[in-house]
Amino acid sequence: MSYTFLQHYWWFIVSLLGALLVFLLFVQGANSVARSLGYTDEGRRLVYNSTGRKWEFTFTTLVTFGGAFFASFPLFYSTSFGGAYWLWMIILFTFVLQAVSYEFQNKIGNFLGPKTFQFFLTLNGIVGPLLLGGAVATFFEGSNFLIEKNNLVDLDSMVNGQWSMVIISRWANASHGLDAVLNPWVLVLGFAVVFLARVLGILYVMNNVNDEDIRSRGSVRLIGAAVPFLVLFVAYLVHLLLKDGFAYTADGTIVIEPYKYFNNFIEMWYLLIVLLIGVVLVLWGIGMEIVNGKSSNGKSSNGKCLGIWPAGIGTVLVVLCLLLCAGWNGTAYYPSTADLQSSLTIQNSCSSEFTLRTMFYVSLLVPFVLAYIVYAWRAIDSKKLDKDEIKTDHAY
């Protein structure tokens, strides 16, 4: 295991966590359309109880994603999470609102009323995917930051008898990440993720809730979410393949390369194949439920709506390939629009070889964790939700 292998391995792990996070945003997507999908108070409670079983998975994956970045690529963590803190603080704040809203929306003594907390769930369902999608877009579009590694030579300096603070990375303006939303292509990918989350959320609720009204409306709402998602995603993918990218040479110099991401997919043809498979799976998951909804009132022939699984697997494959394209094959995964040479790569921003090697052995436990998650998921979903469940003490 060379140092280069470990760098590529940990970028794969981080990318996989990011892909799983995008899939798990179905919780946010379902919450954002709960009022139209549930239609009645009872129907909305069914939707919230369906997503309420899974919101911990999304939040935990978000935290793990950040933790993996901190351990394997600490310079990115300090630059993005420390510099663009307004962007990340808004994301985390909406997720905290989500957790609070689930617990208190129908509690006795809730003086704010259920609709207030349901509004918070809708807010998280829109803002969370939008900003997370925008954060992913900055891997291709760049961010406004500066890296000053020369400051490390000042570690031994003292000011007025105290150790001076060494700042390696800083944001180049006072927006601290909010300037990303001024880039129209960042918004295009951000809203693509919003509608993708809605597609996955509708598919999940149709699969998880045993209610004919929700299933029949779900197939109609699915079209309304799938069309803008496909338009936005295709537009961004074409833009990505045609735009100039950020590469680095053998000595670490960052250069602009025309059609860099297109070249990446040609040179890493296996990623292109997996990407196309993922796109087909997403379209298959959407199409099968739209067709089934028209032919059997929202149910498939065996009484279950199974589109979430091909669409979910396809989502993971597509996002994984996009993130790998951003960091592999000599590509700067976090370009700087303020100073080209400050751009981050998997070589100049990673942890030491000892750290990456040690974490490699720890990561061998991941399959066991995933197996437990699958087991817990199946146990939670062993019985489909119905209207009787929302009358229990454990209902949200």
pLDDT digits (tens, 9 = 90+) for 16-53: 999 999 999 999 999 999 888 877 878 888 888 888 88
Work out the pLDDT band at 305, boundaries 50, 70, 90: confident
**Which residue is it, tokens 């020369």?**
150
Sign of torsion over alpha carbons 93, 350, 360, 353 = negative
Q: Copy the structure tokens of residue 164.
A: 């001076």
Q: Which long-range contacts (CB under 8 A, 24 or more apart) does 272-280 make?
A: 272/321, 274/317, 274/320, 274/321, 275/317, 275/318, 275/321, 275/322, 277/314, 277/317, 278/313, 278/314, 278/315, 278/316, 278/317, 278/318, 278/320, 278/321, 279/314, 279/318, 280/314
Q: What is the pLDDT of residue 162?
A: 54
Work out the pLDDT band at 375, boundaries 50, 70, 90: confident
> In DSSP terms, which residues pair with 385 in a beta bridge?
209
Among 359, 273, 285, 361, smallest CA distance to 320 is for: 273
Work out the pLDDT band at 231, boundaries 50, 70, 90: very high
Among 366, 268, 362, 371, smallest CA distance to 323 is for: 268
**Which residue is it, tokens 């860099």?**
260
Q: Is the pTM of this model over 0.85?
A: yes
Among 174, 77, 142, smallest CA distance to 341 is for: 142
- What is the arithmetic mean of pLDDT over 355-376? 86
Q: What is the pLDDT of residue 153?
A: 52
Work out the pLDDT band at 300, boundaries 50, 70, 90: very low
Radius of gyration of the chain from its Cα atoms, rounded to whole angstroms:
22
Among the listed ranges 106-115, 201-210, 238-247, which one has the minimum average pLDDT value? 106-115
Looking at per-residue pLDDT, the higher value among 168 and 310 belongs to 310
Q: Copy the structure tokens of residue 201.
A: 């959320």
| Helix-, strand-, coil-residue percentages of the chain, each rounded to 5 | 70, 5, 25
| pLDDT over threshold 50, residue 306 | yes
Residue 212: alpha-carbon gap to chain centroid: 30
Q: What is the pLDDT of residue 321?
A: 97
Work out the pLDDT band at 299, boundaries 50, 70, 90: very low
**Which residue is it, tokens 């700067």?**
332
| DSSP per-residue letters across 245-296 | EEEE-TT--EEEETTHHHHHHHHTHHHHHHHHHHHHHHHHHHHHHHHHHHHH
Q: What is the pLDDT of residue 295?
A: 54
Residues 245 and 331: their CA atoms lie apart, in Å, by: 8
In this structure, the dihedral spanned by the alpha carbons of residues 339, 73, 78 and 151, taken in order and rounded to 10 degrees, is -60
| pLDDT over threshold 80, residue 85 | yes
Most confident of 103-112, 192-201, 209-218, 360-369: 192-201
Residues 224 and 236: their CA atoms lie apart, in Å, by: 19
